[in-house]
Amino acid sequence: MPKAGFIVARFSFLVLAASMLGVAMLAAPAAGQPVSCAPPSGKCFAVTVSPSSSTAGANTSFAFVITNEASTQQLGSVQISAPAGFAITGASVASGTASFTSSSALFQNLSLAPSSTTTLTVSAAVPCGSGSYRWGIEAKQSNDFNGAGNDIQLDANSAGNLSGTFTGSTGSCTTRPCPPGTSCSSASSATTSGTATTVLGLPQGDSLVTGMESGSAGSPFNFSCGTTPPVYTPLSDVFNFAVFNGSGVPQPMITLTVTLRIDKSLVTSSGHPGASSWQICYGSTESFNALAGTSQQNVTIGGSPGYFTGLLPNCSSTQQAPCVQARNKNNAGDVIVTFLALGDPYAHG
């Protein structure tokens, strides 16, 4: 529970999280299509990927429809590797667990029975220009993607489905820089919304991507600030954002203004209606100056260890980003917290 007088909104830097966009499912391979995995293993899986073409410079959601073609073995886990120049910004699955870095997405605990199908969703920032690309993919029987000798082979008939193209008009990715003070990217849930805005503008070709993750108990993105009682437990959902250049390379030193809005319903249920009692619980793979007694190291967020966490101090002439600029309430009774952050690839709100 939060310390009396302090309700904590959540903000952490996490591996390139961004909004999860809806995608249309592709049909599984047609019945009767020959399976190329021959005995003795007979352990195969098929995959289709949608879309097969994308727009340069856009954050795009790709649906990987996986079919377990093995006769007796389950398919437990899948790792998807990003094409060159792409930066993965999110991963999700309806049944199982998903985690990601900018270069790969890992799906575990799938327990996919023979002849069954599941859809894995991967969001990625597409590079600038035009060209072709190819995803990498591996599957195992084990639910934790560990062990030797339990690989499930990709059906050769599906190999071509991993390739695609991306295109952009002349000047794509270079004619739409994020202007200073412009709300370039935002995301929301039922109780939390966040907006990231550039302070000095993004260089041409850079892009700002965002997303919102569940901050509820049991979520891999749930984390607290503090090592000894009282521990500051965040209540809001997790706002994610990151800045990348046209080649998908993280840009960690770009300063952003972030606004986090906590809905009145959550403010009321917290028992702390005043805006001044809300704090920002922040995590980053880089160390930062946190309020005394709230720092913690090597915290696991989103399945990845190695994070520094802590409550952000207020901004001042001596305290620069990351820091809190203001806390207010709007006419609707929502709490609004504004803070400075760095646009590296690890962020939650």
Domain edges within the chain: 7-18+177-342, 44-167
Residue reference for tokens 């919304």: 193
Q: Is 264 helix (H, G, I), strand (E, B) or coil?
A: helix
Say if CB 310 and CB 323 are below 8 A apart. Answer: no
CA distances 206 to 12, 133, 185, Å, are 21, 20, 13
How many Cα atoms sit within 13 Å of 43 on the Cβ side? Answer: 17
Say if CB 113 and CB 153 are below 8 A apart. Answer: no
CA dist 312 and 342 (Å) reads: 13
Report phi then psi at 244, rounded to 5: -135, 150
End-to-end Cα spacing for the chain: 18
Torsion-angle region of 317 (φ positive above 0: left; ψ -120 to 50: alpha; else: beta): alpha
The DSSP letter of residue 346 is B
CATH topology of domain 44-167: Immunoglobulin-like (2.60.40)
DSSP collapsed to 3 states, 113-125: CCCCEEEEEEEEE
Q: What is the pLDDT along the chain (349 residues), one digit of tens a residue?
A: 233 333 344 443 332 222 222 222 223 333 444 445 655 557 899 999 999 998 876 778 999 999 999 988 999 999 999 888 787 878 899 999 998 876 788 999 999 999 999 999 998 877 767 789 999 999 999 999 998 889 999 999 999 999 999 886 433 343 334 545 544 577 777 888 888 877 766 776 677 777 777 778 787 878 788 766 666 667 888 887 777 776 667 777 778 888 888 889 989 988 888 888 888 888 877 788 988 888 888 888 777 788 888 889 999 888 888 889 889 988 888 899 988 887 653 334 3
Beta-bridged to residue 65, according to DSSP, are 48, 119
Tokens standing for residue 77: 């886990």
